[in-house]
Amino acid sequence: MARMTMIEAIRDAMDVMMARDERVVVFGEDVGYFGGVFRCTAGLQQKYGKTRCFDAPINEAGIVGAAIGMAAYGLHPCIEIQFADYMYPAYDQIVSEAARLRYRSNGEFTCPLVVRMPTGGGIFGGQTHSQSPEALFTHVSGLKTVVPSNPHDAKGLLIAAIEDPDPVIFLEPKRLYNGPFDGHHDRPITPWSKHDLGEVPSGHFTLPLGKASIVREGAAVTVLAYGTMVYVAQAAAAETGVDAEIIDLRTLLPLDMETIVASIRKTGRCVIVHEATLTSGFGAELAALVQEACFFQLEAPIARVTGWDTPYPHAQEWDYFPGPARVGRALIETVEA
């Protein structure tokens, strides 16, 4: 075990896989010589050479399209889109191609591809460096969508994603790269070196895609969260004293319905929290699934706390971000309803 930041854990996962499997290649904008704007690929080119880790032209459709061709050849590309906000030019390649090769060719051609992208806000990135587009991926059949919330999980899930035979969208909450963040932006940052989940097993280890984790046990209400919101929810529970059971979904698709349903059957109440905008967000899917499976156990309406339906603003970042105060109010309203 070693203490790592989420950046180091992600790099370590790629390092382990590049050493084990010559088919693993890493490329994207600024990822080669420089090692990525967030440093996730630092040192990989030096260690594995220019044909295993290299810089790409600024063309996201080209990066994903070329990676699909490589995956069809038999490589296992693990590529970086510099910010999830830059993904849109590549969306056609992801939706119409990566997600469909296996299906439309009846398994003759497959796409073992990981697309890593930093997601979410909290860094004053404005509307082009803060978005959370996960629902645009969970809506697409043929994709898997993963959102880790700590260095330990990030490594285990990224290795599992690289080993997966199908395309995986790997969204890295950038506000968590250097430490957990509970939404209290005016307080000092806790580094991962002072957090238990900064402990990362060395070498090869995986966490299965599609398994959630209960990060706080409780009896009064179930909170469904992922990424940065896992820490916001924990802060909200601590500050309101609501005995919340907090589930870190980790993988949005496939979704661990077993863990979700077992918890809500116990608590009878559910609050869903995400940073992305409300309307048609992943929370809408979660709410629908929860009422289908747990309608007769529910004692209160399902609540959603999310980003507002506006573009991600710059100066108003903390008015937009669903922080612990908003989540806390939803917890109280839901347990008192």
Partner 1 sequence: MTTDAPLSLHVPEPAVRPGGAPDFSNVKIPKAGAVPKPDIDVDPESIRDLAFSIIRVLNRRGEAVGPWAGLLSEEELIEGMRHMMTLRAFDARMLIAQRQGKTSFYMQHLGEEAISCAFRRALSPGDMNFPTYRQAGLLIADGYPMVDMMCQIYSNARDPLKGRQLPVMYSSKEHGFFTISGNLATQYIQAVGWAMASAIRNDSKIAAAWIGDGSTAESDFHAALVFASTYKAPVILNIVNNQWAISTFQGIARGGSGTFAARGLGFGIPSLRVDGNDYLAVYAVAKWAVERARRNLGPTLVEYVTYRAGAHSTSDDPSAYRPKTESDAWPLGDPIIRLKNHLIVRGVWSEERHKQAEAEILDTVIAAQKEAESYGTLHAGGKPSARDMFDGVYAEMPPHLRRQRQQAGV
Q: Which residues bind partner 1 (CB under 8 A)?
A: 22, 25, 51-52, 56-57, 59, 61-62, 65-70, 72-75, 89, 92-93, 96-97, 100-110, 141-142, 144, 165-166, 210, 253-255, 257
Q: Which is nearer to partner 1, 50 or 194 (CB)?
A: 50
Question: Which C-beta is closer to partner 1: that of 47 or that of 194?
Answer: 47
Which residues carry out catalysis?
A: 129
| Spatial contact of 44 and 74, defined as CB atoms under 8 Å apart | no
Q: How far is the CB of 106 from partner 1 (least distance, A)?
A: 5
Which among 226, 220, 247, 248 has a CA at the least distance from the CA of 333? 220
- Identify whether the C-beta of residue 173 lies closer than 8 Å to the C-beta of residue 128: no
Separation CA 168–CA 253 (nearest Å): 9
The distance in angstroms from the start CA to the end CA of the chain is: 45
- Report the residue number, 72 or 303, with the smaller CB distance to partner 1: 72
For the CB of residue 258, give the shortest distance to partner 1 in the complex, in Å: 8
Whether the ω angle into residue 254 lies within 30 degrees of 0, i.e. cis, is yes
* Single-letter amino acid, residue 220: A
Cβ 247 to partner 1 shortest distance, Å: 17
Nearest CA to 14 out of 102, 109, 100, 114 is that of: 114
Q: Which one, 25 or 287, has the nearer CB to partner 1? A: 25
User: How near is the Cβ of 280 to partner 1 at its closest, in Å?
Assistant: 18
Rounded least distance, CB 45 to partner 1, Å: 13
| Nearest partner of 116 among 9, 26, 35, judged by Cα | 26
For residues 116 and 24, what is the distance between their CA atoms, to the nearest angstrom? 14
Short-list 242, 203, 187, CA closest to 219: 242
Longest pairwise C-alpha distance within the chain: 60
Task: Supply 214's token pair.
Answer: 């209960």
Instruction: For partner 1, give the closer residue by CB, 75 or 244.
Output: 75
| Separation in Å, CA 328 to CA 132, 236, 320, 323 | 22, 5, 16, 9
DSSP label of 188 = P
- Which amino acid is residue 233, in one-letter code? A
C-beta closer to partner 1: residue 46 or 105: 105
Cβ of residue 117: shortest distance to partner 1, in angstroms? Answer: 18
Residue pair 83/117 in contact by the 8 Å Cβ criterion: yes
Residue 199 CB, nearest approach to partner 1 (Å): 30
In b/e form, how buried is each residue of 96-111, taking b as 16+ CB within 10 angstroms? ebbbbbbeeeeeeebb
